[in-house]
């Protein structure tokens, strides 16, 4: 028995069956074992057993017989309001998550990607954010293939925008955003490339290669090797996509690059665009996230916004086709 001056003993919540609290709430509301049992769908014997467990757990009779039936003890009376509030709060917490309200949200999302994908994604994303979520900010980081999986898991990065295939890892989810193909580009007043770009001319030209890692070849080199063709001369390697069109506009080099990149810069840099004279496979661009955030309403909204932004860029690309474009050979 606890003495009057002693503080109440700490209750070990791990030892309490939640069903007992639901039963206790019904008993306190009804002050009647049979009606309490009916309220929560138990048999009378099961509710009587629950009452016995509660009396032992709380060290109080809780319900005692009075002149008009069962009445609450003072301890039980003290429990009525806080137990009602607590169970209501728990039910709210376990209900479906509240919807994400972009119009009033104030938070920051972090994307990991490369500059080319950023150029395809960001204009549409910023337009959508300005209209729909003015309090939402974006941070864009350079994607690091060695660490982005762990950063997605910890939440340091919300989404990674990368080229397929996605690195396999525990808990990673992905969605294809678009399929991209290649075009070739030279400066508009190139001395040898006029109205067409054939394979012989292509192989004689010096090339610019976008190489984020600074070494190795690209899709063109693999295609040339597969077809038994001589290797091209790579005169310039650049680590960033957005530098390459500028390099070509000031030189006699040729660049083979993603179509959307060239569509964004062909007019500004006075470039001529040709279909590649060698078959090059298209590639997919993915958004990748961790399953921890699969069902999060804010994260679902972000993924949907990124997909819409990419579609906006694709629509603009379709509208721009034919601008300063040389005829196919």
The reported pLDDT for the residue numbered 129 is 95
Structure-derived torsion over alpha carbons of residues 43, 46, 52, 58, reported in degrees to the nearest 10: -90
pLDDT bin (cut points 50, 70, 90) of residue 68 is confident
**Residue 184 to residue 274: CA distance in whole angstroms:** 5
pLDDT bin (cut points 50, 70, 90) of residue 325 is very low
- Token pair recorded at residue 87: 């169970």
Mean pLDDT of all residues in the chain?
86
The reported pLDDT for the residue numbered 318 is 53
Q: Give residues with Cβ within 8 angstroms of 52, minimum separation 6.
A: none
3 state SS of 156: coil
Entry field: residues in the chain:
329
**Position 261 pLDDT exceeds 60:** yes
**Could you tell me which of 150, 149, 147, 176 has the C-alpha nearest to residue 163?**
176
Q: What is the pLDDT of residues 70-122, one digit of tens each?
A: 899 999 999 998 888 888 888 777 776 677 899 999 999 999 998 888 888 88
Q: What is the pLDDT of residues 200-218, one digit of tens each?
A: 999 999 999 999 877 788 9
pLDDT bin (cut points 50, 70, 90) of residue 61 is very high
Of 59-63, 206-210, 303-307, 321-325, the range with the lowest mean pLDDT is 321-325
- DSSP-assigned letters across all residues of 12-24: -GGGS-HHHHHHH
The reported pLDDT for the residue numbered 1 is 44
**Residue 240 to residue 213: CA distance in whole angstroms:** 10
**Residue 84 to residue 240: CA distance in whole angstroms:** 60
pLDDT bin (cut points 50, 70, 90) of residue 12 is low
pLDDT bin (cut points 50, 70, 90) of residue 315 is low
**Residue 267 to residue 324: CA distance in whole angstroms:** 7
Regarding predicted confidence, which is higher, 225 or 9? 225
**Residue 293 to residue 306: CA distance in whole angstroms:** 15
Query: Span 225-235, mean pLDDT?
Result: 95
pLDDT bin (cut points 50, 70, 90) of residue 324 is very low
Neighbours of 308 (CB within 10 A): 15
Q: What is the pLDDT of residues 268-290, one digit of tens each?
A: 888 999 999 999 999 999 999 99
**Residue 10 to residue 247: CA distance in whole angstroms:** 72
- Token pair recorded at residue 89: 């709060």
């Amino acid at each position: 028995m606890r003495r009057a001056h002693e503080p109440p003993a700490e209750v070990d919540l791990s030892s309490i069956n939640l069903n007992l609290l639901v039963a206790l709430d019904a008993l306190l509301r009804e002050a009647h074992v049979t009606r309490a049992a009916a309220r929560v769908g138990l048999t009378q014997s099961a509710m009587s057993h629950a009452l016995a467990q509660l009396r032992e757990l709380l060290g109080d009779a809780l319900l005692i017989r009075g002149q008009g039936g069962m009445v609450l003890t003072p301890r039980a009376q003290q429990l009525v309001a806080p137990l009602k509030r607590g169970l209501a709060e728990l039910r709210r917490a376990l209900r479906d998550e509240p919807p994400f309200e972009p119009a009033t949200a104030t938070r920051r999302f972090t994307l990991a990607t490369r500059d080319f994908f950023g150029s395809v994604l960001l204009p549409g994303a910023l337009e959508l954010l300005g209209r729909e979520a003015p309090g939402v900010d974006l941070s864009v980081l350079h994607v690091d293939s060695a660490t982005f999986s762990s950063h997605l898991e910890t939440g340091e990065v919300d989404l990674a925008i990368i080229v397929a295939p996605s690195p396999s890892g525990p808990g990673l989810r992905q969605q294809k955003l678009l399929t991209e193909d290649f075009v070739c580009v030279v400066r508009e007043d190139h001395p040898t490339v006029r109205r067409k770009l054939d394979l012989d001319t292509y192989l004689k030209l010096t090339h610019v290669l976008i190489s984020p890692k600074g070494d190795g070849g690209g899709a063109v080199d693999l295609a040339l090797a597969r077809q038994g063709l001589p290797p091209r001369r790579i005169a310039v390697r650049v680590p960033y996509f957005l530098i390459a069109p500028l390099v070509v506009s000031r030189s006699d080099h040729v660049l083979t690059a993603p179509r959307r990149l060239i569509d964004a810069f062909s007019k500004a840099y006075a470039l001529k665009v040709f279909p590649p004279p060698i078959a090059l496979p298209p590639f997919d661009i993915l958004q990748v996230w961790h399953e921890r955030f699969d069902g999060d309403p804010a994260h679902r909204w972000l993924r949907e916004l990124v997909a819409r932004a990419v579609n906006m860029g694709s629509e603009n690309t379709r509208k721009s086709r034919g601008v300063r474009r040389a005829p196919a050979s």
